[in-house]
Structure 1
Amino acid sequence: MGVSVIYRPTTWSYIITLLLMTITLTIISLSSIQVFTEGLMMPPQIAIMAFYISLLGSAINIPLTYIKTREYGLYYQEINIFGIRWFLPSIGLRERKTLIAINLGGAIIPLTISIYILTRLPPTVNVYMKIALATTIISITVNRLSRVIRGFGIVVPGFIPPLITALTSIAISIIPPKCNPAFIAYISGTLGTLIGADLMNINKIPELGASMVSIGGAGTFDGIYLTGIVAVALTLTLI
């Protein structure tokens, strides 16, 4: 009796998708580690560890809370007539519970790196004010650009936030006394995207119609993670 082997269905589109994802992930990994070590002056071992924890943590969502909403929907009412069960469709209010979670790789690790950078900066009011100003500008900009798509999530144009973050960080960093724009870019890009895209849209979560919403849920492909990395890379290119 022969052994049956079940193969995964393979198409050209499937192969091309895997190839593109592999190339993209390789580019992200190389650029991330380079940005961490050269742009943010992190020790190589910490940079490598931060990237791989972000990559592995992309699959981990930590529950935070539930949001309950009431909405009209279709449900079936069971009616028993002479022993025969009938299911009649009805439209009425029903309660929906949406789980709010935070992604380890896409949100917690970038926030941890931001805190790490803050501890290495000179503890001066000037530096903190520049970071706060840049974060405010990025938060408002990202919030204006974000769109809520039902059944999908909150989306933001991919390249615009990093570009605005880089230009803002460079402009603010040259205000006397000067400071490193790369540090401002990473912290303001990470926090600004988190605040502008997720926290400032928290009241729009019921519009998503989803059972779970994850902050930074796309992991290393999420806007929170990528904005910080790409913004620093652009900053180093432009200065």
Structure 2
Amino acid sequence: MPLIWILFLILLFPFLIFVFFIQAATFSFAKLGLSPQMAVFVFSLSLIGSVINIPISRKKFIIHEEEQQFFPFLFYYPPRVQEQIIAVNIGGAVIPVILSLYLLPRAPLLPTIIATIIVTIVAKALAKPVPGVGISLPAFIPPLVAAAAAILLSPSDAAPVAYISGVLGTLIGADLLNLPHFKDLNSHAISIGGAGIFDGIFLVGVVAALLA
């Protein structure tokens, strides 16, 4: 094979991955009950929203305080204060939660609550606060746990149960229950549903669609 074709395939590969990503996402949303047009719209909105964060809180905390050893009455060493912004990601939190509320009437309440609790516990156990990065969570685990719980608890309505429990359980377990640890991340901005969580939320939709 000529070298030019090899280079062409290498350059084409990321594009093919992106196309597959789009097809998988729109297929997932469509299988969850959205029209094809609405599925494309929701996916596009989620993709654009993944880079949009809405600040909801600003906190200041002391990160270092100088020891005043010599003549504290003559010299004052002010503590170093850092401001941290807590935001909500549109694509990784707001839109998935809205879609979960849309699907809620189609899902039996008790199995959905139990499945959400299960995913929350697993997400909390696996989520790791990483200084300078945010919350790290294995992307494949919450969707698989949500799917397994949905199949066991509500086989006839597994898809909406899996999606709702996967989204809410991941956000609650990985982000909300780790709010007290946010100040230890040494990050100026922390996004709920943002980096580290968005991939898992997306895969929840894909796995839920496979159950439909």
Of Structure 1 and Structure 2, the greater strand share is in 1
Q: How many residue pairs were aligned?
A: 194
Query: Are 2:79 and 1:93 aligned?
Result: yes
Deviation at 1:27?
Answer: 2.3
Structure 2: stretches of 5+ with no match in the other structure: 1-9, 67-76
1:58-102 residue CA offsets vs partner (Å, 9 max, x unmatched):
22111101122212179xxxxxxxxxxxxxxxx873221110111
Moved more, 21-30 or 183-192: 21-30
User: Which residue is 1:185 aligned to?
Assistant: 162
CA distance in 2, matches of 1:168, 1:100: 31
Cα distance in 2 for residues equivalent to 1:72 and 1:234: 50
Alignment of 1:219-230 (within 5 A): 222-223=198-199, 225-230=201-206
Name stretches of at least 5 consecutive residues in structure 1 with no aligned partner: 1-15, 75-90
TM-score by length of 1: 0.73
CA–CA distance in 1 between the matches of 2:61 and 2:12? 41
* 2:211 partner amino acid: T
Correspondence 1:30 to 2:23: yes
Amino acid at match of 2:201: Y
* CA 1:216–1:92: 2 relative to 1, 3 Å: same
| Rounded Cα–Cα distance in structure 1 between residues aligned with 2:15 and 2:89 | 22
The one-letter code sitting in structure 2 at the alignment partner of 1:230 is V
More helix by share: 2
Which residue in 1 is equivalent to 2:143?
162
- Say whether the 8 Å CA contact 1:190–1:225 is kept in structure 2: yes
Residues 223 and 43 (structure 1 numbering): CA distance in 2 closer, same or farther, change over 3 Å?
A: same
C-alpha separation between the residues in 1 aligned to 2:165 and 2:65? 41
Distance in 2 separating the partners of 1:197 and 1:185: 17
Which of 112, 119, 133 is the matching residue for 1:138? 119
Q: After superposition, what is the alpha-carbon deviation per residue over 1:11-37, rounded to whole angstroms, capped at 9, x for unaligned? A: xxxxx7x86654443222111111111
Contact 2:143 2:200 in 1 (8 A): no
User: What CA distance in whole angstroms lies between the structure 2 residues aligned with 1:19 and 1:213?
Assistant: 34
Of residues 72, 76, 86, the one that matches 2:64 is 72
Deviations 1:134-163 (A, max 9, x none): 000000101100111100110011212211
- Secondary structure of 1:180's match? helix
Deviating beyond 4 angstroms after TM superposition, the runs of 4 or more aligned structure 1 residues are: 18-21
Match of 1:106 in 2: 92
2:208 maps to 232
Match of 1:47 in 2: 39
Q: Percent identity?
A: 38
Q: Normalising by structure 2, report the TM-score.
A: 0.82
For each residue in 1:195-223, what CA deviation from the matched residue of structure 2 results, as whole angstroms up to 9, or x when unmatched?
A: 0110000000011100100112239x714
- Distance (Å, rounded) in 2 between the aligned partners of 1:229 and 1:181: 12
* The 10-residue stretch of structure 1 (189-198 or 26-35) with the greater mean CA deviation from structure 2: 26-35
Aligned partners of 1:216 and 1:223 also within 8 Å: no
Q: Counterparts in 2 of 1:188-207, with a 5 A limit?
A: 188-207=165-184
Larger Rg: 1
For residues 128 and 214 of structure 1, do their structure 2 counterparts lie closer, same or farther at Cα, with a shift above 3 Å needed?
same
User: 1:198 and 1:20 mapped to 2: Cα distance?
Assistant: 33
